Structure 1
């Protein structure tokens, strides 16, 4: 091992008492110091605190070692730097945030000068590949949203690159749930070289006292007569294509009401021999897939989105035939209906207005709506903002698409802050709102559609019930969608039970212990003060004109971060600290107020 252990420092591991001690956090920290641990805790139970304590001790034990915290998005990287680095009194001048916005010319210098890095995985992957960082210098890697470590995602390549030259580093992987199936969980274990899983469900005895009740209300939304008439008219047109696919043995059966676009496109791989002889069927397959996609948007999202997709389909049809005339009738009927006539749109507004009418005395109540597609997000926001007392805003990712640009990191941060302050009382978010971001306390979650992926389901639910009871309303159009939510919940429970029982997953048993067996660190508890935060410490070396870092936070964002009880988003309330440890003291610290017995 390249890095030298400070043997004297390693006789203890420091455990901050700035927050009330929780046994499950303490137990997980103990194990994470000696194993590659996958921590699966429900949202809001302090995974970041666990990471911070582990970072603190590797920082003490290895005076020249580097610790890297990777998170999948730039907003999460910025948030985790402030949350994680601001818990245990770690000195700010050793920390560095590096994303794709960090100038390449500066990254080599940062690797030389700093010790704790908060990064996107793509940036770390690139720096490992180019040699800007020596993998042997990294003693601890913290992986946030670890369930992403599948396929070709950068997390997988990072661990592979590092282990090829350095097996002596510790991995701490954090997630709300490790995967939607046992196979996906095993893939995460394999890719992150996990030797121990610390999993807690909301029923676990050691976390039950910290869990607030979440009331789930699945609502199957009935179709109106006008909506049903539009849908039936459209299904009649789809049936013509479905019959063609069945007649030519491309599909064994085909129900237009439930046909999925992916199922149609899979014909290309499954029926190559038939398509080689009847190439003209390719246009029918493409057309049917587009039709199925349009029907899905009609069932699940909005009439306006349905119209847009039918118009695209009409524009692509060169032949003027009866089918095109029927589709023109469909789009004319859809155009005669107001956009907000979709039963889900109506129900979504009703649920939110009902919530605010019940909470008239509580100006702090907040609502979050989840919807997978940006188009629907903007429609919902526009409709909500027509209602008295509702102040809604979209919350979407940074990438732009053909229908518009995304939000910059600075804009995302401003929206979160305004939501916490009450400038907005409703956020309508795509999947960007599901993972990790500290949105603040939310009393009502409205899932505009049921998602099949149990990981996404759990993350949506986890946005509420953090400090008080929460409510989750799941809207499902009658028909195939109505069974999706329960299937997702059943899948999640099944995976958790499988892992807990030790079935179907295999852990690594070759993870080296970094601290020699002769050294058995004992816990020392210490109430630690935070070194004074100076924005220049983490922002001065960033390229000009880049996205806002947390070193450039507004005065409003910094308000409330002073003395007294401060919410950290790490599972507990921070108590005012009475003792301060400077950077050099970490390497020499020997005493504590009380030992763990």
Structure 2
């Protein structure tokens, strides 16, 4: 059956008519709006509709995207969808020469740009923001602190208080103050919150299955780590006796930073004990890193870390020489060099990948990891299977012997992943956001991430056009466990804060949203009938909204575990998690998530163990 299409004088391409997108457009045309919509439900389509209406107004339209890859994507889609000539739309990025930018600003009706270029031109007078009618902030969660997006929001409001701003994101932030900061920097008047369980969104969903694989460490790794933990305890107790670490305080990041401050203060007083304390604090930081790598990544990744330290030692780096001379570290270095990989994650990755390829022989799989060493290890291991066409995908920065990928290389890799030359992409965090990465049938998270925003973005790489699944690997009683708890709770808090802010009307509304603002829009229904956009929205509400759900009621934010989740289509009772872990041991690794765990409400979930 033909799909319903949006009709507007400035839309030349095909835009599927979806009632929830038209409602978001209605809000966005009524005043500065932050659209929060799940990944893959078409936030970009809302941006097109708003820009189509603003093409009827005087002034420049600016679309901000956080990377050159996304800038290119927005430019191409605007050319395809909107009624705008090639001469009237331009790209501005760091690759654009400063001497060419004034002429581009002068001739263009629409600019697609990276934020830092617009910020710099606005500050130097290269562009008069008073002549801008609309700024679209894609991935608007970046509009915080000293980020260029946030600074542009301030500069634009100062230059043109009547100018319009539209922010769009799947995840504006976890904390209430973070969300309010985005709203304040973009002068947001209304929050449009769309959730995957909303009746108007359900017809456009595909299935995503999320499964957490709980992994037990083998005895060989426990035996390797035990002396390192004893060394860590000894170093910590020495600092406590010296008054640098507070007594009976867990070894958290905050406690270590405070110890560093006290050591620095002692050095300023010419107290020689401060120098020794500072050296020991450096050793403690490295010990924690080494333990985490062994527990969450495995033998080979930890060995690579120590080999780099050894290389630094040979270059007369005294800090690395001191660290490697610690008895437990010296012994661990020797033993790691003699061991094969025994961490279960590596074989579990191979098993999960081959299962995915059997299910979707022509499909794509993305494996996310935090560490470049793990990227190299996984690629080498998976390439042994000739059926798997594996490629790494990393950021541009070069680190030590690891050479980064420039933008040209990244684009080439993504194109080969798109056309099937490669079917397995092993990526660091660079693949989470800001690049036009093809959808995958399966996403593997080699370790959890502490950020709700990043977790949402990683999951959003699958189940866009068809069903997909996400597999998260969690090593029990390690940093993995703690981060997983914190990330889940942060995501709960984000949805709860968004809902509360919307309900409590914390944002100033200059005028109520009016359906008449969509008068320029109509819809060609699947039957070929042309109807006003407002009539289409009402008919979709009647068709899709369940009567028992019409009355607004308090919505409990979801906790995403292993469950069937409805995600968009794009143009058993067991113990709670906290019962399996020793939180006191884990808290020493991540202070930043400490407060999140205290309020966790565990849910029943399926769990698998791997040893």
In the TM superposition, what is the alpha-carbon distance from 1:325 to its structure 2 partner?
Answer: 3.7
**SS of the residue aligned with 2:521?**
strand
Hey, what does 2:299 align to over in structure 1?
Answer: 303
In the TM superposition, what is the alpha-carbon distance from 1:151 to its structure 2 partner?
Answer: 1.2
Match of 1:193 among 167, 187, 195: 187
* Distance 1:13-1:33 versus aligned 2 partners, 3 A rule: farther
Q: In the alignment, is the contact (CA less than 8 A) between 1:195 and 1:507 conserved in 2? A: no
Q: In the alignment, is the contact (CA less than 8 A) between 2:304 and 2:373 conserved in 1? A: no
- TM-score between the two structures when normalised by the length of structure 2: 0.77
Matches within 5 A, 1:476-515: 476-480=474-478, 481-502=480-501, 507-509=506-508
Q: In the alignment, is the contact (CA less than 8 A) between 1:14 and 1:523 conserved in 2? A: no
Hey, what does 2:336 align to over in structure 1?
Answer: 334
The superposition leaves residues 467-511 of structure 1 with CA deviations (integer Å, 9 ceiling, x where unpaired) of 222111101112132243243123212221232133798754276
Match of 1:137 among 127, 131, 134: 131
Q: Distance in 2 between matches of 1:67 and 1:399?
A: 32
**SS of the residue aligned with 2:326?**
helix
- TM-score between the two structures when normalised by the length of structure 1: 0.79
The superposition leaves residues 314-361 of structure 1 with CA deviations (integer Å, 9 ceiling, x where unpaired) of 6335988996343221101011113x43322222222112222x32xx
Q: Distance in 1 between matches of 2:323 and 2:454?
A: 43
State which drifts further: 460-469 or 301-310.
Answer: 301-310
In the TM superposition, what is the alpha-carbon distance from 1:198 to its structure 2 partner?
Answer: 1.0
* Distance 1:16-1:181 versus aligned 2 partners, 3 A rule: farther
Matches within 5 A, 1:77-226: 77-226=71-220
State yes or no: 1:38 paired with 2:39: no
Match of 2:259 among 259, 264, 267: 267
Hey, what does 1:463 align to over in structure 2?
Answer: 461
Q: In the alignment, is the contact (CA less than 8 A) between 1:145 and 1:175 conserved in 2? A: yes
The superposition leaves residues 250-280 of structure 1 with CA deviations (integer Å, 9 ceiling, x where unpaired) of 334689xx95556423422367666754312
Q: In the alignment, is the contact (CA less than 8 A) between 2:144 and 2:181 conserved in 1? A: yes
Q: How many residues align?
A: 510
Match of 1:19 among 1, 4, 15: 15
Q: Distance in 2 between matches of 1:441 and 1:163?
A: 37
In the TM superposition, what is the alpha-carbon distance from 1:460 to its structure 2 partner?
Answer: 0.7
Q: In the alignment, is the contact (CA less than 8 A) between 1:98 and 1:119 conserved in 2? A: yes
Q: Distance in 2 between matches of 1:403 and 1:318?
A: 17
* Distance 1:208-1:520 versus aligned 2 partners, 3 A rule: closer
**SS of the residue aligned with 1:369?**
strand
Q: In the alignment, is the contact (CA less than 8 A) between 1:36 and 1:194 conserved in 2? A: yes
Q: In the alignment, is the contact (CA less than 8 A) between 1:38 and 1:196 conserved in 2? A: yes
**SS of the residue aligned with 1:502?**
helix
Q: In the alignment, is the contact (CA less than 8 A) between 2:215 and 2:344 conserved in 1? A: yes
* Distance 1:291-1:79 versus aligned 2 partners, 3 A rule: same
Match of 2:51 among 48, 55, 80: 55
Hey, what does 1:525 align to over in structure 2?
Answer: 522
The superposition leaves residues 363-401 of structure 1 with CA deviations (integer Å, 9 ceiling, x where unpaired) of 321101111222222221222112231111111222333
Matches within 5 A, 1:438-477: 438-477=436-475
Q: Distance in 2 between matches of 1:454 and 1:18?
A: 33
* Distance 1:146-1:407 versus aligned 2 partners, 3 A rule: same
Q: In the alignment, is the contact (CA less than 8 A) between 1:435 and 1:459 conserved in 2? A: yes
Q: CA RMSD in A?
A: 2.9
**SS of the residue aligned with 2:56?**
helix
Q: Distance in 1 between matches of 2:324 and 2:18?
A: 69
**SS of the residue aligned with 1:390?**
coil
**SS of the residue aligned with 1:60?**
coil
In the TM superposition, what is the alpha-carbon distance from 1:302 to its structure 2 partner?
Answer: 3.6
Hey, what does 2:290 align to over in structure 1?
Answer: 294
**SS of the residue aligned with 1:363?**
coil
State which drifts further: 434-443 or 75-84.
Answer: 434-443
State which drifts further: 225-234 or 41-50.
Answer: 225-234
Q: Distance in 1 between matches of 2:107 and 2:506?
A: 36
Q: Distance in 2 between matches of 1:210 and 1:263?
A: 48
State which drifts further: 196-205 or 447-456.
Answer: 196-205
Q: In the alignment, is the contact (CA less than 8 A) between 1:217 and 1:474 conserved in 2? A: yes
Q: In the alignment, is the contact (CA less than 8 A) between 2:214 and 2:476 conserved in 1? A: yes
Hey, what does 2:373 align to over in structure 1?
Answer: 375
Q: In the alignment, is the contact (CA less than 8 A) between 1:49 and 1:84 conserved in 2? A: no
**SS of the residue aligned with 1:161?**
helix
Q: In the alignment, is the contact (CA less than 8 A) between 1:196 and 1:507 conserved in 2? A: no
